[in-house]
């Protein structure tokens, strides 16, 4: 096993382990911290695949912004720090059972599938490639622009839900 | 830069108009004087939606009249495809949004304590998401447009903050919707992993090259269909619908019971027919099963409902089952009734379902609850509303001379033609069952005496909305030929291009 495969497995354990912690711990601050570890692991996978730009963005946005935002929200919300939250209800065993069944099914199918790979070495993804994929001719201009409307609409919606009455 | 301005943005003019309208209304809401705000925003919204509707008709005319296929501006790439089928559906979506806007003002005046001026722009953004969805031919575009529609719907369903039911509905809708988006994305990523492409035409080529269908391709497709099924509220992915319909503001429920269904059906048809025609046998059986479960479960669960919005929720689960029969049928090239069936059914469904919710809105504006019990004696206190609801329910049940009959006839015809006779039989049986619960409401309205008389003073706008919906339902019912012909325009939905 070369170092590449080895680090992939290490990262996978890190991602899955901390993701499990996120959904099972009882202290919301600990959950948020483990979420940061999950995101770091994903950034590591991106780096392994030579998507350095994505890895940097992943750290900046997910670890830097989203987790910190969650921690701020926890800090500003009263009565959430220090109390023990139960993340499961009485249907938890059923949920675990169906998730494991699904996992087994996917695993069996995935092991019997040959994914078509290009055989080439990983293409170096530069910011330039990403830029022209988003804004170049015949590319993803439409979804890129729609995403900005989506974020605007989501923000307006969140403000409407969160603020008080009309004056 | 080739071509004039018109040919560069022409085909996506309806989307651009909706986008500009939404932004304009948002900004207008901040700066207009408070006492005029509601009126100006409402009329701007109505005029803007009308313009978007006209632009759809103009693009459709340009495509239908020009001898050679319309040249798509190349900045669109493979992300959007504007064809007759998409344009007919865009016209329907704009129409549904206009009807929703017409029945909204009084209701939001009574019920909303916050966000009155953001209501209309959010509705316009929902319409924008749906019009994009019916054209989308790329998995990323499909995902982004679907999220736009869904996020706006979650917010609008939970819009009545004072009402715990509305908040609960919004929360449930959001959680289930987020989970279903994750499932759909997982399916998309598996599909991308197997085919190395996000646009549907390339996915098709890649699957054809794989030869025998790999099980992983099927898993990807099934997960995507499950995600679309959530947005369509087709059984067994329907759990959110009754709560969301019961708790949400009624005009919004009218919109989300119609608009996302049109968009979802278009997405389903595009993904299946452009991306996966090679494995038609597999998905055809899958969709047929979903259709059968939706029809049976929706119609049977609707019977014991005491709340009219819940009843209409289960009825709409049944209705989506009928439409899915059309999706499961053979393609138009071999089956003359399929596309016309789907389009006519969606057109009719828009009129009758929004009409029914318009009457529910009018009744709750008069201070009554949504319980079927409260519809006692509606025929005496407001004959117009009672007769209107009678027409809409008769059409939902598929009785002549209403339009619902034609939608069902075409769809069941397409099913029999495709060898799905059993599905058509289930559909007819479910239609018979549905008469029972639809006419229970009619019985309550016409044959029971009201306990306390109520006066109905409806605004002209709401009345106009109801009258447009009645006219549509009855006109298509007695004279369906032009609409079936119009639907034929878009018949080569996705004739393998």
Question: Residues A18, A34: contact at Cβ < 8 Å?
Answer: yes
Instruction: Name the least confident of A123-137, B115-129, B162-176, B420-434.
Output: A123-137
Q: Which pLDDT value is given to residue B187?
A: 94
The pLDDT tens digits for A30-65 are 888 999 999 999 999 999 888 888 899 999 999 889
pLDDT of residue B7: 67
Which residues does A contribute to its contact with B (CB < 8 Å)? Answer: 106, 109-110, 112-113, 115-116, 118, 137-143, 146-147, 149-150, 152-154, 156-158, 160-161, 163-167
Mutation target to probe the A interface, by most A beta carbons within 10 A, among B110, B120, B148 is: B148
Nearest CA in chain A to B141: A143
Q: What is the pLDDT of residue B2?
A: 44
**Which of B246, B224, B227 minimizes the C-alpha distance to B178?**
B227
Global pTM reads 0.92
C-beta neighbour count of A56 within 10 angstroms: 14
* Rounded Cα gap, residues B490 and B486, in angstroms: 7
Residue B193 contacts A where some CB pair is shorter than 8 Å: yes
Q: Mean pLDDT in chain B?
A: 87
Q: What is the pLDDT of residue B425?
A: 93
CA–CA separation, B166 vs B247, rounded Å?
4
pLDDT, residue B308, reads 93
Mean pLDDT of B394-416: 87
Spell out the domain ranges in chain B.
Answer: 4-489
pLDDT over 80 (residue A121): no
Distance CA B230, CA B185 (A): 13
What per-residue confidence (pLDDT) applies to B221? 93
Using left for φ > 0, alpha for ψ between -120 and 50, and beta otherwise, residue B316 falls in alpha
For range B407-426, the mean pLDDT: 88
Q: Do B148 and A149 touch (CB under 8 A)?
A: yes
How many angstroms separate the CA of residue A120 from the nearest CA in chain B?
14
Phi, psi of B303 (to 5 degrees): -60, -50
Angle, to 10 degrees, between the axis of helix B139-157 and the axis of helix B164-195? 170
CB pairs under 8 A between A and B: 110
Give dist(CA B36, CA B370) in Å, integer. 31
pLDDT value of residue B1: 39
DSSP strands (E only) in B25-91: none
Q: ipTM score of the complex?
A: 0.89
């Amino acid at each position: 096993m070369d170092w590449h495969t080895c680090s992939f497995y290490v990262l996978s354990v890190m991602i899955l382990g901390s993701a499990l912690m996120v959904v099972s711990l009882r202290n919301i601050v600990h959950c948020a911290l483990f979420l940061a570890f999950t995101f770091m692991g994903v950034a590591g996978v991106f780096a392994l695949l030579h998507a350095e730009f994505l890895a940097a963005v992943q750290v900046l946005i997910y670890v830097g912004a989203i987790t910190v935002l969650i921690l701020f929200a926890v800090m500003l919300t009263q009565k959430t720090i220090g109390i023990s939250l139960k993340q499961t209800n009485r249907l938890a065993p059923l949920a675990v059972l169906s998730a494991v069944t699904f996992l087994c099914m996917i695993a069996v199918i995935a092991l019997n599938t040959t994914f078509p790979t290009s055989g080439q070495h990983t293409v170096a993804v530069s910011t330039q490639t990403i830029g022209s994929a988003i804004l170049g001719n015949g590319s993803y201009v439409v979804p890129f622009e729609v995403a900005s409307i989506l974020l605007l609409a989501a923000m307006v919606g969140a403000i409407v839900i969160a603020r008080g009455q009309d004056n | 830069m080739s071509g004039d301005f018109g040919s560069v943005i022409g085909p996506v003019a309806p989307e651009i108009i909706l986008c500009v309208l939404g932004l304009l209304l948002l900004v207008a809401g901040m700066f207009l004087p408070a006492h005029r705000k509601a009126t100006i925003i409402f009329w701007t919204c109505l005029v803007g939606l009308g313009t978007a509707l006209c632009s759809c008709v103009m693009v459709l005319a340009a495509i239908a009249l020009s001898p050679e296929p319309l040249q798509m501006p190349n900045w669109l790439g493979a992300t959007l495809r504007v064809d007759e089928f998409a344009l007919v559906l865009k016209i329907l979506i704009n129409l549904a949004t206009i009807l929703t806007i017409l029945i909204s003002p009084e209701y939001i005046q009574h019920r909303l304590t916050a966000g009155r001026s953001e209501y209309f722009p959010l509705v316009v953004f929902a319409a924008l998401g749906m019009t994009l969805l019916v054209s989308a031919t790329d998995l990323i575009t499909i995902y982004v447009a679907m999220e736009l529609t869904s996020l706006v719907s979650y917010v609008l369903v939970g819009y009545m903050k004072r009402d715990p039911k509305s908040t609960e509905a919004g929360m449930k809708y959001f959680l289930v919707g987020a989970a279903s988006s994750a499932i759909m994305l997982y399916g998309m990523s598996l599909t991308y992993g197997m085919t190395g492409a996000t646009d549907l035409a390339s996915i098709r080529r890649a699957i054809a090259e794989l030869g025998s269908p790999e099980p992983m391709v099927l898993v990807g497709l099934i997960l995507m269909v499950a995600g679309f099924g959530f947005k369509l509220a087709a059984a067994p992915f329907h759990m959110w619908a009754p709560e969301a319909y019961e708790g949400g503001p009624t005009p919004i429920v009218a919109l989300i019971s119609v608009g996302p269904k049109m968009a979802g059906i278009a997405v389903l048809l595009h993904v299946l027919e452009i991306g996966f025609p090679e494995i038609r046998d597999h998905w055809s059986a899958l969709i047929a099963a979903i259709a059968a479960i939706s029809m049976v479960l929706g119609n049977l669960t609707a019977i014991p409902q005491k709340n009219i919005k819940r009843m209409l929720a289960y009825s709409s689960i049944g209705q989506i089952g009928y439409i899915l029969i059309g999706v499961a049928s053979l393609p138009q090239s071999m089956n003359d009734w399929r596309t016309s069936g789907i389009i006519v059914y969606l057109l009719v469904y828009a009129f009758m379902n929004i009409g029914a919710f318009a009457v529910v809105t009018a009744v709750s504006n008069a201070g009554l609850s949504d319980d079927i019990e409260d519809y006692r004696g509606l025929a005496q206190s407001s004959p117009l509303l009672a007769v209107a609801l009678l027409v809409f329910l008769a059409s939902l049940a598929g009785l002549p001379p209403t339009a619902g009959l034609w939608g069902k006839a075409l769809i069941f015809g397409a099913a029999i033609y495709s060898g799905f006779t059993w599905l058509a039989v289930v559909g007819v049986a479910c239609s018979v069952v549905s008469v029972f619960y639809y006419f229970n409401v009619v019985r309550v309205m016409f044959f029971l005496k009201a306990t306390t008389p109520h006066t109905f003073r409806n605004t002209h706008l709401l009345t106009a909305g109801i009258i447009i919906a009645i006219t549509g339902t009855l006109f298509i019912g007695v004279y369906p030929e032009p609409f079936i012909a119009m639907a034929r325009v878009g018949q080569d939905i996705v004739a393998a291009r």
